[in-house]
């Protein structure tokens, strides 16, 4: 999430990094620009080419660049270097770690916050779809990145980055040019939306839109060839309450990528803008059959029965979704799906269809009270969330702070509206115009974008401050309002883990005797932690809140409900598991107070045999496998 570039001579692009404590240190990175360059940057308007596999493919008006070595080129793909959860000169921020949930969903829940990492799916998808030898170094330290480019020769080096990591991408390009002067440097990801990016990063090409198609064309490979799906575990290193999760239903899953972009085209959505904008998306798998083949292979190879569906609005392709459902029923697949969706699209399905499809989690844009977004028109979102939860569909609600109608006088009302949804998780984000989006174009036309001299580009990540002048919020008020929203949701609704137990328990009670054994099996799998682990979670959480009478009553009622459903085994397990969890929770709180931060491991992978020492060869999920049934067993006996 970044501001437009409106620099002035001697522009300070990074400033005021506070590592903690009372002392502050000033970090200045200055780029001097001529008046001509300033004028050019100020006039720049970024447009997005639409590239796609299949029906919505569009060709650029200029010839696509080609590498002289074609598929014989040696390729290195990189994510930006860490560490990430610290304040430093390259744009890392302690409040913006490489963790989606702890960053912008459970950020004030302390030891109850879900801590997990997700791989760089886009880079993995590109690597899996190249014939050229391709190495991927994901989440390296700066030292490990430098070791790679000093020790190995590459013809092409690609760096993927979000816009707040501009300084890291800039540093990496500089080091690549120094140590691999013959290499072609590519920069892609959301940073590609920045106007005149080449003035800040010494790269040869900027990869926009569909990275697989771009790279295939660049290497002289077939851009319309079949998409090979990488084998991507959904979560890495998940932990909560001080305990690392292993083989945990709800955490153990595979990532599947049916499409990128979103045809809804909300004005603030950088992902939609990146892949063509309103009315457009790029579908890698257009039919339920295509998707089912991939999911079967992922199920077998990764030993999962749950899938995080990385598609901005998966259910919008109704024919594909119902085709997948038909195959799941025919082949007895009791899969769980974790989806992104919009309320209007979800309402196009019956609850029976959503349950049969295995929709277990949905990331739902609530945006704000009286939102003007068409996807929410006429929908009582509070009631709709309740309906989803009654059928075992847990909700991650997403609310915007700083809509144009928000004022200091009504912001508490907006926050209360969000909190009343009582979703299992709740994301709060600042309303931020990103280059390439319609919202950015609106603010640029009005002249309401702030000059970069007033803030650091590294702080425009949606969790600190605006990059424009809000009509009602002044003097950085948005920072406190955002934190107020997170804190209010936590204070009123309690730890997310308790909300998850509540919905899981009530869904099990509703569907444990469903006439369809496939559906029974799915709910039994999701409820398998209730008798022991979840009983212990409630016991430990109640102990932690022993001085909060209202919270104790709430948790006790839920624990009694669980005892009644699961019987003596849960009564015996709760204090045993609970004491262990409580001790882990207290240790985690101490670690957090002492400044402990969480960083992802480094991944070093190739798509070819006999790669560099220490690398792992990856393989894609190669269908077909529809003819092989893998029936899910009814695990009801393990819950009762």
Look at 436 and 123; give whichever has higher pLDDT: 123
Cα(264)–Cα(258) distance, integer angstroms: 16
In degrees and rounded to multiples of 5, residue 587 shows phi and psi of: -60, -40
- Of all residues in the chain, the percent with pLDDT exceeding 90 is 78
In this structure, are strands 259-260 and 282-283 parallel, antiparallel, or unpaired?
A: antiparallel
Strand order in the sheet with 425-430: 232-233, 254-256, 306-309, 336-341, 359-367, 394-401, 425-430
Q: What's the Cα-to-Cα distance from 275 to each of 53, 285, 314, 317, 601, rounded to whole Å?
A: 12, 16, 15, 17, 29
In this structure, are strands 282-283 and 306-309 parallel, antiparallel, or unpaired?
A: unpaired
Cα(464)–Cα(460) distance, integer angstroms: 7
In sign, the C-alpha dihedral spanning 249, 252, 254, 260 is positive
Tell me the pLDDT band of 623, cut-offs 50, 70 and 90.
low
Cα(448)–Cα(627) distance, integer angstroms: 58
Strand order in the sheet with 603-606: 205-207, 184-188, 156-160, 75-79, 134-138, 603-606, 616-617
Tell me the pLDDT band of 622, cut-offs 50, 70 and 90.
confident
Query: With contact defined as beta carbons under 8 Å apart, do 462 and 429 qualify?
Result: yes
Tell me the pLDDT band of 159, cut-offs 50, 70 and 90.
very high
Q: How many CB atoms lie under 10 A from the CB of residue 212? A: 25
Mean pLDDT of 342-369: 95
* Per-residue pLDDT tens over the stretch 450-500: 998 999 989 999 999 999 999 999 999 999 999 999 999 999 999 999 999
Which among 209, 190, 211, 186 has a CA at the least distance from the CA of 198? Answer: 186
Mean pLDDT of 551-575: 98
Q: Provide the whole-model pTM.
A: 0.87
Query: Which alpha helices (H) appear in 431-493, and where do they start and end?
Result: 438-446, 477-493
Question: 462: phi > 0 → left, psi -120 to 50 → alpha, else beta; which?
Answer: left
Cα(108)–Cα(129) distance, integer angstroms: 40
Query: With contact defined as beta carbons under 8 Å apart, do 65 and 59 qualify?
Result: no
User: Which CATH architecture fits 11-218?
Assistant: 3-Layer(aba) Sandwich (3.40)
pLDDT for 42 beyond 90: no
Mean pLDDT of 392-415: 96
Across 120-262, where does the E strand assignment appear? 134-138, 156-160, 184-188, 205-207, 229-230, 232-233, 236-240, 243-244, 254-256, 259-260
Cα(145)–Cα(79) distance, integer angstroms: 10
Cα(126)–Cα(132) distance, integer angstroms: 11
In this structure, are strands 306-309 and 254-256 parallel, antiparallel, or unpaired?
A: parallel
Query: Domains of the chain: which residue ranges?
Result: 11-218, 510-593
- Beta carbons within 8 Å of 217's beta carbon, 6+ residues apart: 64, 66, 223
Tokens of 218: 């660049």
């Amino acid at each position: 999430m970044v501001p437009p570039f409106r620099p002035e001579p001697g522009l300070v692009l990074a400033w005021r990094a506070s590592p903690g404590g009372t002392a502050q240190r000033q970090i200045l990175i200055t780029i001097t620009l001529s008046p001509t360059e300033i004028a050019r940057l100020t006039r720049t308007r970024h447009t997005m080419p639409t590239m796609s596999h299949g029906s919505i493919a569009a060709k650029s008006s200029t010839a696509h660049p080609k590498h002289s070595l074609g598929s014989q080129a040696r390729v290195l793909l990189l994510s930006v270097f860490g560490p990430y959860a610290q304040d430093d000169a390259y744009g890392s921020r302690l409040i913006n770690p490489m963790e989606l949930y702890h960053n912008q969903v459970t950020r004030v829940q302390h030891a109850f916050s879900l801590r997990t990492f997700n791989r760089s799916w886009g880079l993995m998808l590109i690597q899996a779809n190249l014939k050229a030898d391709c190495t991927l170094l994901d989440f390296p330290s700066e030292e490990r990145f430098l070791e790679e480019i000093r020790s190995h020769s590459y013809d092409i080096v690609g760096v993927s980055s979000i816009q707040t990591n501009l300084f890291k991408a800039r540093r990496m390009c500089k080091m690549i040019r120094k140590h691999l002067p013959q290499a072609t440097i590519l920069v892609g990801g959301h940073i590609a939306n920045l106007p005149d990016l080449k003035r800040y990063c010494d790269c040869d090409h900027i990869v926009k839109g569909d990275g697989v198609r771009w790279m295939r064309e660049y290497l002289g490979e077939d851009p319309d060839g079949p998409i090979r799906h990488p084998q991507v575990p959904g979560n890495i290193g998940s932990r909560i309450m001080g305990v690392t999760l292993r083989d945990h239903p709800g955490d153990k899953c595979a990532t599947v990528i049916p499409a990128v972009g979103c045809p809804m085209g909300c004005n603030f959505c950088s992902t939609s803008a990146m892949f063509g904008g309103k009315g457009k998306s790029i579908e890698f798998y257009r039919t339920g059959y295509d998707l089912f083949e991939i999911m079967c292979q992922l199920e077998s190879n990764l030993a999962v029965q749950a899938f995080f569906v990385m598609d901005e609005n998966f259910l919008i392709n109704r024919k594909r979704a119902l085709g997948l459902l038909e195959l799941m029923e025919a082949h007895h697949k009791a899969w769980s799906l974790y989806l992104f969706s919009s309320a209007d699209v979800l309402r196009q399905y019956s609850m029976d269809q959503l349950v049969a499809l295995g929709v277990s989690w949905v990331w739902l844009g609530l945006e704000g009270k009286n939102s003007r977004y068409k996807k929410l028109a006429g929908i009582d979102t509070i009631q709709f969330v309740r309906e989803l939860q009654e059928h075992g569909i847990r909700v991650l609600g997403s609310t915007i702070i700083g809509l144009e109608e928000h004022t200091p006088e009504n912001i508490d009302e907006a926050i209360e509206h969000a909190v009343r949804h009582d979703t299992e998780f709740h994301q709060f984000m600042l309303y931020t115009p990103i280059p390439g989006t319609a919202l950015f174009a609106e603010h640029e036309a009005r002249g309401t974008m702030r000059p970069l001299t007033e803030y650091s580009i590294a702080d425009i990540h949606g969790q600190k401050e605006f990059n424009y002048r809000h009509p009602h919020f002044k003097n950085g008020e948005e920072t406190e309002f955002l934190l107020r929203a997170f804190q209010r949701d936590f204070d009123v609704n309690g730890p997310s883990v308790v909300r998850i137990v509540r919905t899981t328990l009530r869904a099990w009670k509703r569907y444990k005797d469903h006439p369809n054994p496939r559906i029974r099996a799915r709910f039994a799998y999701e409820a398998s932690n209730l008798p022991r682990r979840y009983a212990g979670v409630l016991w430990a959480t109640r102990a932690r809140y022993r001085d909060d009478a209202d919270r104790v009553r709430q948790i006790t009622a839920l624990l009694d409900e669980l005892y009644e459903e699961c019987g003596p085994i849960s009564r015996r397990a709760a204090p045993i598991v609970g004491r262990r969890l409580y001790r882990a929770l207290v240790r985690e709180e101490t670690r957090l107070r002492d400044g402990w931060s969480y960083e992802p491991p480094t991944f070093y992978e190739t798509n070819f045999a006999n790669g560099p020492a220490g690398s792992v060869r990856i393989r894609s999920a190669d269908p077909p496998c529809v003819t092989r049934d893998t029936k899910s067993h009814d695990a009801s006996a393990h819950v009762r």
